[in-house]
Structure formats: C-alpha cells, structure tokens
Amino acid sequence: MNPLAPYAANPNQTQGRQFSEPPSETRNAFQRDRDRIIHSTAFRRLEYKTQVFVNHEGDLFRTRLTHSLEVAQMARGIARTLNLHEDLTEAIALAHDLGHTPFGHAGQDALNECMRDFGGFEHNLQSLRVVEKLEQRYAEFDGLNLTFEVREGILKHCAIKNAKLLGDVGKRFLDKTSPSLEAQLTNFADEIAYNNHDIDDGLRSGLITIEQLSKVTIFADNLAIVKTKYPKLEQKRVIHETVRRMINTLVVDLCTNSEANIAQHQPASINDIRQLPHLISFSSVVAEQNLKLKQFLRKNLYHHYKVNRMSAKAACIVRELFNAFYENTGLLPNEFQVYAETDKARAVADYIAGMTDRFAIREHRKLFTVEEYL
C-alpha cells in the first residue's frame, strides 16, 4: 500500500464502533470490518440475489455477490492511485448491497410500496440495518459492530426524516457535510461496475445489440479503437475488449479529475474533506458520456419488455408474500414472529429483504401452491 495521504481515513484515528471492543492484534480496524462482512450471512446470500436478471434465468449473469467483488476490486485500485485507504474502500464496497431485496430493483420497488404506510423501504438504509441489527453472530451485540467510517460509506444517500433517526451516520445529511473520499470513490466504482457489466450481460442475453450501443458515444469510441486494432476479432472478444476500455476510460478520468479537485482545495485532513464539496468526480465531458450510457441502459435494457415481464412477476411475488405474512404472522419463522409482536410490518420487510431470488420463489410456492405445501 502506498503512503496514505494526510486527508485519507486512518484506522488508527477512527471515530470508533457503537460498542467498545479491544483492537485486533493482527488487523487494522478496517480490515477487521471487511472480514466481518465477508463472513456474514447477508454477504453469502448475495450469491443468489440478482441485479437485472432473475437468478434462475441463467448461470452466467452477474449476481449481487459478483457485482460486489467487482466494485471492491475497482475501488481498491482507485484508492491506491489516490493514496487513500484501500481496506476501507473494500469494506464499504463489499457491504454496500447487503440490504438488497430479491429480484433487484423490482423487488425493492414492490417492497417499498408495501411499506408505504410503515416508513417505506430503501435498500441503502436496509444495508445499514443489516450491519447494525439484523446480523446476529456476536455474544455482546447485535449486528457486526463496524467502524463509523464503514457505516458512513454504506449510507450513500438518506432523506432528512430518516437521517434524524440514525445518530452519528445520519448527521452529515443534516449538517450538509461530505463523507470520506473513500466513501465517495466507492460510490463511483459501484456505478462504473454496474453500468458496464450490465452492458456485458445485456449483450449476452440478446436484449441489447452492438448496433444499438454504437449510438452511445463512450461505447462507439472504444468499439472503433478495438475494431481498428483487431479487425478480425471474434464478437465475444470484441465486446470484452470494448467494455474493459470503457471501464478504463471512466476510471482514469475519475482519478485524474479527482486529483485535480484535491489539488485545487488542498485538504490537510479528513476533517477538511468533510467540510468541502465532494472532490471525487468525473470531468464534465466524461460525466455527460456516462449519463448518456445510463439513459441508454434505462430505456433499452432495464425497460425491455422481457425484463419488464420478469420484474412484474417478481413484484407480484414480493407483494403477495408481504400481504400473506402481514395478515398472518404465524406464517413467519419463529424469530420473526417474536419481532412482529412489536413491529409487524418491519419484521415482514426484514424477512422478505433477506431472501434470495430462489428462496422467495420457493416460499411463494409453499404459501400459494397446494402441491408445494411442504
């Protein structure tokens, strides 16, 4: 690891954990957080939670687990370039999707609608809830007892009404201050990873085509480079070469522009970072190209009629599960029945949010299909 910049997060100067613990003899505080996340139940479940495609649609599409690993790899590289703390960025990256429902955004939207009268549901808040409460592994506390810096990084955005309930990690949304640079860059690594890898999955599935993508500047420019350099290259490799060049374009621009922002503001400590506007950003040209790419994916992939059909089925499963459990909490596992005595709707939401795609499908069949009763 390169020497840390003076404004980087420092595990020896962390704002601490919710519950006091003696330090590890072999790991810094952020490494310890990363390890706790990797060994958590919620992290293992990410293997069978999907982003765009429902889990049973195919084995080659990305899941929340592979996505989280890709974000962690990218975030570490950016942190290394900017002399920020790699272990912190990795921990944030690995934890950022722990609260996602089954069936990706379709599942989240359906669960949020079900919870409309009970405070709503948002996966970002749920990820924080997982590491603060729902993971039950340790004798002396609920959750994983992560450092403030990791919890801060997990909470990328938050409504004011929710921020008021979150204590230390909600305070910056009330004070209009910024999170660490490690948290900022991991947010960008997340966006770069899912945009570009959704292109890969979308092309593999046949839902989008190279011809369509050739109208998007950042894809067209990199495709032209590949075709000029490798005129006889097979299609599969053309796609990979183009996507990896797109990722490189975005990462290099992010690092270059962020370094310029840092040089302009000259922060001397992480406390300075918190008082400054966000310093991690694309240049205006690349930001516009990235926006066009996101708009293309939203229109042509995420709203493709075949994806809409999968999403409609997924939303139906989530709604029917919620209604069944809410109307009869005796259908819940014992530990959730106990919790439902004090907060029924949230207990049901926690149970459903923790499901994998295939487990949700199986639970739905057990509840609504006679042949699947047992």
Tens digits of residue pLDDT in 338-355: 999 999 999 999 999 999
Q: Stretch 272-298: mean pLDDT, rounded? A: 97
The pLDDT of residue 52:
67
Task: Indicate the pTM of the whole model.
Answer: 0.94
Judge whether residue 144 has pLDDT over 70: yes
* Of 152, 183, 209, 217, nearest in space to 79 by CA: 183
Amino acid occupying residue 245? R
Per-residue pLDDT tens over the stretch 295-311:
999 999 988 998 888 88
For residue 277, the model assigns a pLDDT of 97
* pLDDT value for 105: 87
Structural Rg of the chain based on CA atoms: 22
| Other CB atoms within 10 A of residue 136 CB | 10
- What pLDDT sits at residue 104? 87
The CA dihedral of 245, 251, 252, 258, to the nearest 10 degrees, is 160
Residue 55 confidence class, pLDDT cut points 50, 70, 90: very low
pLDDT at 31: 98
Q: Any idea which residue has 């499963």 for tokens?
A: 317
Average pLDDT, the chain: 93
Ordered by where they begin, the domains of the chain are 26-307 (1.10.3210.10), 308-372 (no CATH)
Mean pLDDT of 69-82: 97
Query: Residue 235: what pLDDT?
Result: 93
pLDDT (0 to 100) of residue 59: 47
Q: Is a pLDDT exceeding 70 seen at residue 60?
A: no
The confidence score (pLDDT) of residue 362 equals 94
